Structure 1
Amino acid sequence: MLKTLVKKIIRYDKIYDIIKDSFIYQARKKLNGQIANFLYGYPSKDFFVIGVTGTNGKTTVVNLIHKILNDNLAKTVMISTANIKVGNEELKNTKKMTSLDIYDLQSILAIAKDSGCKVAVLEVSSHGMDQARFEGTDFDCAVLTNITHDHLDYHGTMEHYIDAKKRLFTYVLKNHKANKYAVLPADDPVGRKRFDELAFDKKVNFSITGSSMLKAEKITFLKDGTELIFSYLGKSYTLKTHLVGKFNVLNILAAIGVATNIGISIEKAIASVEQFMGVEGRMERLEHNGMNYYVDFAHSPDALEKTLEYLAGIKGAGRLIVTFGAPGVRDKTKRPEMGKIVDQYADIAIATDDDPDTENRLEILQQLTQDMKNKSEGRNLFILPERVLAIKFATEIAKPGDILMFAGKGHEAVQLTNFGKRKWSDKEEVLKNLK
């Protein structure tokens, strides 16, 4: 009752857009955070708190860190876009939000504290930072996966987007705890330029191509995973993982970077990574009658390109069939770019609804496909607005040896259509058509 009352008192509605940059609004955000922390007893003060931010890879990195720390350090709580774990107990994140409402966040941390958790791993979005959903949370360690084009509909410019990401690192630097940790991508030009300048007690960087403390030396893609040889401070290590793609190699190195930062041995971290089976809707592979079906959350140009580059590289003589879309209402500037990426890598492209929401679904699809110069509609480009029919069509035209990619929805359990919200699962729709 008190929580609901407080939220009603301090919520803005129609005047939100007018005053969101004002002193009053900024003060309201901070007050909101302090009230939420007060109501739940400032739970983060009793945790070692790790925040993971970046454009892509956050959910996988959070899950990897949770696996390593829960296995080797202490009972750990984690909150990601896809799932929530308290120790080994897993729940789905049904909020369709990367960063929870501040009251939900503090409530889960309080529950985790009562259950004996000592470590928290949180996925941190730029929206969540800008809206102060982490106000009052004491972070000990900040992790950056990468920074590329996304959410410019909300932030307006890349500069504002980067500033929102950087705020996590300033949270760490401002806390009153003894040590402050950071894990950074050495291959990312924005990460090097804007984040390396920050002073932390312990900082680890990771890379595939650049010079770094944690560096991938040799990557071998296997039928059911990846073999990775990497070095840490000059010493070589080998691991085999169920995860695929260079992007997941970087995710693994980021998670191991956290482990080394806080004193977990490389050997123990490797053992946990090798047991990690992946995250629902993140390059999740289904195999049927000689064909491989992948369900993935890729919804930014960078994520889409990295996943398709990997799949195009392993398809052999088969075809890469890509079913994809883009959310309505949100960042329109990335739609043509995503279409061009699919145009480059896919043998057959199927453009369909993602979450059109209140926007005209046909206009979204037109923007997605307008620059696909290598495709001809009806031959190797098909525009099917209804996602159910698009998935059905993709599975019907597939032949043994083909790879099918269903991009954009990943783990999501709802779809926001022009006709309202409905239950949804890409994976379940694919499986229906494989019977």
Structure 2
Amino acid sequence: MINRYNNLRRFFISRYKNTLHFFEAIYWNIYYHFPSRHLKVIGVTGTDGKTTTSFLIYQILKLVGKKASLVSTTGAIVGGKKIKTGLHTTTPDSKTLQKLITDAKDADSEFLVLEVTSHGLDQHRVLGINFDVSVLTNITHEHLDYHLTMERYALAKAKLFNRSKVAIINKKYKQFVHFIKNKKLKVSFVSISSLPYSLKKAVYKKFTQEYNRENLALAAVACHRLGISYTKIENIIGKLRTPEGRLDYITNDKGLKLIVDFAHTPNALEELLKFLSKTKGKGNLIVVFGSAGERDKTKRLLMGKVASKLADKIILTAEDPRTESISAINREIRKGIKGSQVQVFEVEHRGKAIYFAINELAKKGDTVVICGKGHEESLCFGKTEYKWSEKKAVRESLRGILPTYGKPVVC
């Protein structure tokens, strides 16, 4: 009964807030004179792979000589200038977003690649933007603290395609079209095998991870629908790179495979660990991760299950616990590990966990992957964000320095 009350309370609060967001979005569209009408806008949504796919589309457009801008989780690139959009932010609020679109227009961009979240869609942040092409990478378990059910989550994602001309959808998730109301939408279901033969070979050569091959296939088809020939795309594939914090290998002299990755959902963690378990060789696969506080609690057990199935050793630690207890979060993750033979350690301080993994637990030939933060520049404890860099923490640990949390960050 209490859970039902809490769910209803969250629902009505979100509806009230979203009414405010709706009028804010109308105001900022009018204030900036609907700037997106001057651009060809590509929207990318999905549970995982949004940032990588958006970044790949942006790079393809740039490499074939097009003027393009990008707004994504790792920040914005407008007229070649990098702009920070805030902590833990993917789709900015309507005021910030309309200003960025205006800046893109003023920089003579022809294309704008926009990473779009379910929260951003539900809260009307992209209201007033009509999308020429929209992409769905996948849809798996996430954000049920906000949407409550997978159906409502899918319906929120579908709003992007209700205001699009063309949809590029991962073929594995073709059932998603049942949530789309736009009858005029031109839909293409994409898989790696659906690509032209020579382009498919180039995709396989570029990435060894199946999930990144899928991301690149979606990006290639999206760009093709924008008028870029497959031949041109094939010619520049070798120059493409993934965004910061996605499968970032850190060189070291300890004989370890050291990786920083943003994986923070059950699906992303599973896809990453599947790949690493195949490439680890004879060494152990050690994963360092946690789960965010005040966010979807139902995914914690699932992440524990995934890690215990694919990793040899697990270190549970802090990942933006906010007002929740780190040990309580880790207990929920442990519920998914129960019965497994995998070794589990708990080191609440993230810096100490990384140091422990690299200097005390890992041996030469092991693979150590640190998940959940990637490119992000802060960790949230209570209501305060503290300066943090995952890569810096890894490099300090390699030098024998115990990483510490930085000063509070002004948001």
Q: Counterpart of 1:338 in structure 2: which amino acid?
A: M
Deviation per residue, 1:4-45 (Å, 9 max, x gap):
xxxxxxxxxxx99645436xx655433211110111121100
Bigger strand fraction? 1
Q: 3-state DSSP class of the match of 2:272?
A: helix
Q: CA deviation at 1:329?
A: 0.8
Picking from 385, 398, 406, the partner of 1:434 is 398
Scaled by the length of structure 2, the TM-score of the pair is 0.89
Partner of 1:416: 380
Q: CA deviation at 1:352?
A: 0.4
Q: Pairwise mapping of residues 296-311 of structure 1 onto structure 2 (< 5 A)?
A: 296-311=261-276
Partner of 1:279: 243
Q: CA deviation at 1:263?
A: 1.6
The runs of 5 or more residues in structure 2 that have no matched partner are: 1-8, 400-411
Partner of 2:285: 320
- Distance of 2:160 and 2:235 partners within structure 1: 29
Deviation per residue, 1:176-195 (Å, 9 max, x gap):
xxxx2110111125436545
Partner of 2:304: 339
Superposed CA RMSD: 2.2
Partner of 1:40: 32
Tell me if the contact between 1:50 and 1:122 (Cα under 8 Å) persists in the aligned partners: yes
Q: Pairwise mapping of residues 16-415 of structure 1 onto structure 2 (< 5 A)?
A: 18=12, 20-21=14-15, 27-72=19-64, 74-172=66-164, 180-188=165-173, 190-191=175-176, 193-194=178-179, 199-200=183-184, 202-208=186-192, 215=194, 231-232=195-196, 237-239=200-202, 243-289=207-253, 290-375=255-340, 380-396=343-359, 397-415=361-379
The runs of 5 or more residues in structure 1 that have no matched partner are: 1-14, 173-179, 209-213, 216-230
Corresponding pairs, count: 388
Shifted more, 109-118 versus 285-294: the winner is: 285-294
- Distance of 2:261 and 2:66 partners within structure 1: 31
Q: 3-state DSSP class of the match of 1:344?
A: helix
Aligned identity (percent) is: 37
Q: Counterpart of 1:334 in structure 2: which amino acid?
A: K
Bigger helix fraction? 2
Q: CA deviation at 1:300?
A: 0.7
Tell me if the contact between 1:67 and 1:272 (Cα under 8 Å) persists in the aligned partners: no
Q: CA deviation at 1:259?
A: 1.3
Tell me if the contact between 2:318 and 2:348 (Cα under 8 Å) persists in the aligned partners: yes
- Distance of 2:183 and 2:220 partners within structure 1: 21
Q: 3-state DSSP class of the match of 2:169?
A: strand
Q: Say if 1:326 and 1:384 are closer, same or farther in 2 by CA, change over 3 A.
A: same
Q: Say if 1:201 and 1:127 are closer, same or farther in 2 by CA, change over 3 A.
A: closer
Tell me if the contact between 1:49 and 1:121 (Cα under 8 Å) persists in the aligned partners: yes
Q: Counterpart of 1:100 in structure 2: which amino acid?
A: P
- Distance of 1:20 and 1:384 partners within structure 2: 35
Q: CA deviation at 1:400?
A: 1.9
Scaled by the length of structure 1, the TM-score of the pair is 0.84
Q: 3-state DSSP class of the match of 2:172?
A: coil
- Distance of 2:24 and 2:177 partners within structure 1: 33
Q: CA deviation at 1:79?
A: 0.5
Tell me if the contact between 2:22 and 2:123 (Cα under 8 Å) persists in the aligned partners: no
